[in-house]
Structure 1
């Protein structure tokens, strides 16, 4: 496979789990193998070795165009791009057809989280423990109160609010970083939900509603990842905390994407494929 290799991945540490998956496949030889990863994985030798092992074992691997997943096309309201490799001993395999081809049909941030009750920084909703937003410093409160949905730090510069600029934005090398300390746009898809989506300064994670001066709540991040609204992540809050939940939610394969992958496998093996509608995955 003639990929241009990414030399920044010294010793392949970032993709080391693929080596473990390769060992499992070599030992078990399951009928179907699926991996989901960031797009960059395809540029590493470890990935090429993994695919070559599958082909040597007689697996049919889905083609590259099928592997490239843009989540809004599958009903997931975030700008998440993933590389989904599917392989089968039984014959050619692929993901189901995309749900949406037209951008105007993509689900939006407002459609996904707009029904939730308003919340301010540092608050926890009394009826839903997961609907909680982190406290903001005085400076970050001033930043978000002077930020429009879809805008960026250049708004402060234009308004003469240079004291709100982050240090990186004062350097020529950092002026291209537009997302930190900005608000999402309500009628677009969200940015990729990362493990730090609850931090205002970590990306375009400010709430689009200018009456809610805060970053996303944990519940909003989970909904944008297509977890059910009543999904139980924990028994006791003190056993988890914000950072652990942020990591669980941000690192997850969106459940709705997992469902589509599962439907592709069911169709491939000739099993009945249940109907599915776009939106947040059911329990």
Structure 2
């Protein structure tokens, strides 16, 4: 079964479908760094499927540059990553490139993906002068529908934030359903919790599953789904070497311990002995002092830090009436962390590592693990080499791989 991934990001949702046995025809993504990540992941799968994984390992070890890695991959695979924005100005070019990959003689089984969520999210609306009402991203679902018209997939999976329900007083969601119906698709809207799918993170998302009206599927109950895969967040940190703020290596480190049951069951540690992107951002001394207070407060008293309780010398923000929890520990003893969002690319205050001997925010690899990305998944920047900011942004915007995989498995029989 094949699929097209629209608004693909770094490919978290796609990773889940690939693992479940689906074959990607194309990934369409406007962000250049994320597109490089998709190409590198495509290279990983090609080399793995052709028993040449040692070449990918050479890249993760820094022994060969990115362009040399890509030179060992067929052009049609690299060209299936389409770095263009979806819209009227680019759609014909995107259609043309997808059709070349299809050789014009195959049907598309599935379209997956979800437009950028800022226009629908409660946080995005709160930060916007006009509540995002004038944001063109409100209408990217219309473009999504154009791809349904073009390729007539049997089904589609549309992912977005819960705020889509209330955005515009619910009018966007209503118009979305009307448009999809007009295109010949019925839909069902699920509100899912990522931790029910084995992800060690509290993440609430809307999953819209649509199907062509020439059949009626027996849909899985994603609202109440339970994968049975559970663990404490500490399992994600247990095998990683201790590093300090500003330390770590892009390529490569060795693991500090053997993998545990969760890491294996979640496909996070999946056989490759090379640890990459365990990189921590540097911090000002004042922030590190706040981090120590926050970690002690949680580890000793199981209480979150309220910003107003800090000593006056550590309080530099003028806003004292909101955002009390701007400093928050990723608690190791809970079954799910706070939601990983793209803001982690700007600072790590909301994602403090629970070990005070390391006194830092979480690393790129730790954030990726909280999103259930496997350790052999490498996040690229536009320029070759470590780009901590680009990696954090891609991770924060991603769909957790385990969530994508469980959805893929559950609709496979329907197709």
Q: What TM bracket, shorter-length normalisation?
A: 0.7 to 0.9
**Contact map agreement 2:162 2:206 (CA 8 A) in 1:** yes
Match of 1:27 in 2: 150
Q: Shift of the alpha carbon at 1:17?
A: 2.0
Structure 1 residues 145 and 61, CA gap change in structure 2 (3 angstroms): same
Q: Shift of the alpha carbon at 1:100?
A: 5.0
CA distance in 2, matches of 1:161, 1:43: 39
Report the TM-score when normalising by structure 2: 0.55
Alpha carbon RMSD of aligned pairs, Å? 2.6
The size of the alignment, in residue pairs, is 250
Match of 2:387 in 1: 241
Higher relative contact order (CA closer than 8 Å, sequence separation 6+): 2
Which of 350, 354, 358 is the matching residue for 1:212? 358
Q: Confirm whether residue 108 of structure 1 aligns to residue 223 of structure 2.
A: no
Which of 113, 125, 134 is the matching residue for 2:281? 134
1:84-233 equivalences in 2 (<5 Å)? 84-89=207-212, 90-95=215-220, 98-100=225-227, 106-125=230-249, 127=253, 128-148=275-295, 149=298, 151-154=303-306, 157=309, 161-168=311-318, 171=320, 173-174=321-322, 177-188=323-334, 189-197=336-344, 199-201=347-349, 203=350, 205-233=351-379
Compare the two structures and name the one with the higher strand fraction. Answer: 2
Partner deviation per Cα, 1:216-248 (whole Å, 9 max, x = no partner): 100000011111112223499744511111111
Q: Confirm whether residue 53 of structure 1 aligns to residue 201 of structure 2.
A: no
128-137 vs 41-50, which moves further: 41-50
Structure 1 residues 135 and 57, CA gap change in structure 2 (3 angstroms): same
Does the residue aligned with 2:337 lie in a helix, a strand or coil?
A: coil
CA distance in 2, matches of 1:168, 1:266: 52
CA distance in 2, matches of 1:61, 1:30: 13
Q: Which runs of 5+ in 1 are unaligned?
A: 1-5, 270-283
Structure 1 residues 191 and 58, CA gap change in structure 2 (3 angstroms): same
CA distance in 2, matches of 1:186, 1:155: 21
Q: Which runs of 5+ in 2 are unaligned?
A: 1-124, 254-274
Report the TM-score when normalising by structure 1: 0.78
Q: Shift of the alpha carbon at 1:166?
A: 4.0
Match of 1:253 in 2: 399
Match of 1:275 in 2: none
